[in-house]
Chains A and B, each alone.
Chain A
Amino acid sequence: MDTTDTTPIIPEPVKQKRFAGIRKSLTDFFASLYNINSFIIRFFKEAFLPPYEFKEIIRQCYETGVRSFTLISLTGFIVGLIFTKQSRPSLAEFGATSWLPSLVSIAIMRALAPLVTALIAAGKVGSSIGAELGSMRVTEQIDAMEVSGTNPFKFLVCTRVLATTLTIPILATYTGLISILGGFLNVYVNEGTSYRTYIGQVFDPLSFIDFTAALIKSIVFGFTIGIVGCYQGYNSSSGTEGVGKAANGAVVTAMFLIFIEEITIVQITSWFR
């Protein structure tokens, strides 16, 4: 028998008396941990088995990119610009404004680019995945897929998770480049640094570890955004209220997890340096 039932494995307990509130939220928390864990395991079980949904994955990659492109471009550029501008006075105190490009690139590559990209994508992409799958669940479109002989988990969930996992690293790279460009604009206007010098100084302080860590981070963030959005939407409760909750839950949970992952990965990379 297949395991594609819609109810979470551990049902959310029904409302209890107020004094039991803490126990209830604790049980809820662990129940949802367990459920999300089985959801992830199911993803790995099904995503890499044929038949592959290449066409749908590519379509979802495109969606992910398009949905967040404008906002990411704008934010990336402004982050680079402002960061450079705000860092200048501190460096100027030591007469070290020539270090600005290195400072900018380290800040951007090590922290800002993946994080900013992930947070924006969580807001744009994660919420729309949650809302989309949520409304499909509520209006029985997911059931309709299932009874017409399509595995909805594979078609809807696996494709979206793979798409965000593949696309966020690309977007993060793009954010990095745009931020560096923003930084250049500021440095060029103030110090008159040439493009060539700037680029040289930007890439000089970056090591292999920095690139690897940034890549791993954005892959993890992308996976998180996809899996959280899908989990919330796919298990959304019925009613239009459920759709809103799914979208909202997708953003809040994804952002929370992204911060935790950021801290963890920073900690781990610092052991390697």
Chain B
Amino acid sequence: MEKQKAPIDHKNAVIRVHGLKKAFGDYEVLRGVNLELYQGENLVVLGRSGTGKSVLIKVISGLLQADAGTVEVLGQKIDQLTTKELQALRIRIGFSFQNSALYDSMTVRKNLEFPLVRNRRGIGRKEIDTSVERVLEAVSLSQTINQMPSELSGGQRKRIGIARTLILNPEIMLYDEPTAGLDPITCIEINELINEVQERYKTSSIIITHDLTCAKQTGDRIAMLLDGKFQREGSFEHVFDTDNARIKPFFDYNFIK
């Protein structure tokens, strides 16, 4: 499945992270992360459980505060923004959560409407409905519109979660383990969805995963998070062309060797 996509603009970084540090108590999770995400690029972040991948994108979206270092998103330093400015910036970033984080008490329709209704005061009913239908169609789940999240499967929840972030036409997408816990076929569908989103919405994305098929299929560039830093970075082939005992097992496990 070769991707056909707009070229990556290597002069234009939409996310710049420099020397990012974050600790919880005595445990230093991130110990100086440097990262640049270019316009139109899919960056895959790999790493073992507990290496702080989720923490990294939570810092990028301002959900957690960094202890040190700078985080610049779409040209704005996120720790220098007022609440209002941060809110405005967040609308331009889509965040797909590890466990989907759908609002349990709302139907799929209400889930999708929520960001729209909340951020575009006075938006008309008709415009809401068309937007909802548009994103549902994008994730090919139009039939679930009146269902509750509890009635959906894990893969469907993931896709609705992605649809909910798409509704605001984000410029950046942050995917936290989009394929974790899904069967191989659903994984491939999600990977295709990620590529499709990038083409259709011209987004730049960070994709966190353990799944090398996902990494290979979606990633333009791979970065390996190890001991709180990016230890290896580059194309898929480059990253795994190593004898490093802590990187190789990833590859061996995923492509049973």
In the complex with contacts A2-B82, A2-B83, A2-B86, A149-B118 CB distance below 8 A: yes
B63 touches A148 (CB 8 A): no
A237 vs chain B, min Cβ distance (A): 13
Residues of B within 8 A of A139 (CB): 99, 101, 104
A148 touches B86 (CB 8 A): no
Interface: B159 (CB within 8 A):
no
B91 touches A148 (CB 8 A): yes
A91 vs chain B, min Cβ distance (A): 51
Bound CA–CA A148/B164 (angstroms): 9
- A-side interface mostly: loop
What count of chain B residues pass the 8 Å CB interface test? 36
A149 touches B64 (CB 8 A): no
Interface: A150 (CB within 8 A):
yes
B83 touches A4 (CB 8 A): yes
What count of chain A residues pass the 8 Å CB interface test? 24
B79 vs chain A, min Cβ distance (A): 5
B97 touches A148 (CB 8 A): no
Bound CA–CA A122/B246 (angstroms): 52
A149 touches B115 (CB 8 A): yes
Residues of A within 8 A of B175 (CB): none
Interface: A204 (CB within 8 A):
no
A149 touches B91 (CB 8 A): yes
From the candidates A51, A140, A147, name the one contacting B90 in the complex (CB within 8 A).
A147
Nearest to B93 among chain A residues (CB) is A147
A146 touches B63 (CB 8 A): yes
Question: Which are the 8 A-B pairs with shortest beta-carbon distances?
Answer: A2-B83, A144-B101, A140-B101, A148-B115, A147-B95, A149-B91, A150-B118, A149-B119
User: What is B's interface to A at a CB cutoff of 8 Å?
Assistant: 25, 58, 61-65, 78-83, 86-88, 90-91, 93, 95, 97-99, 101-105, 114-115, 118-119, 121, 164-165, 168
Known: A4-B83, A141-B101. 19 other contacts (CB 8 A): A1-B62, A1-B81, A2-B83, A2-B86, A5-B65, A14-B25, A139-B104, A140-B99, A141-B104, A143-B97, A143-B101, A144-B95, A144-B97, A146-B63, A147-B62, A147-B63, A148-B119, A149-B118, A151-B83
Can you report 21 residue pairs joining A to B where beta carbons are below 8 Å apart? A1-B78, A2-B82, A2-B86, A6-B63, A14-B25, A132-B105, A139-B104, A140-B99, A143-B63, A143-B97, A144-B97, A144-B102, A146-B63, A147-B61, A148-B90, A148-B118, A148-B164, A149-B88, A149-B118, A151-B87, A155-B118
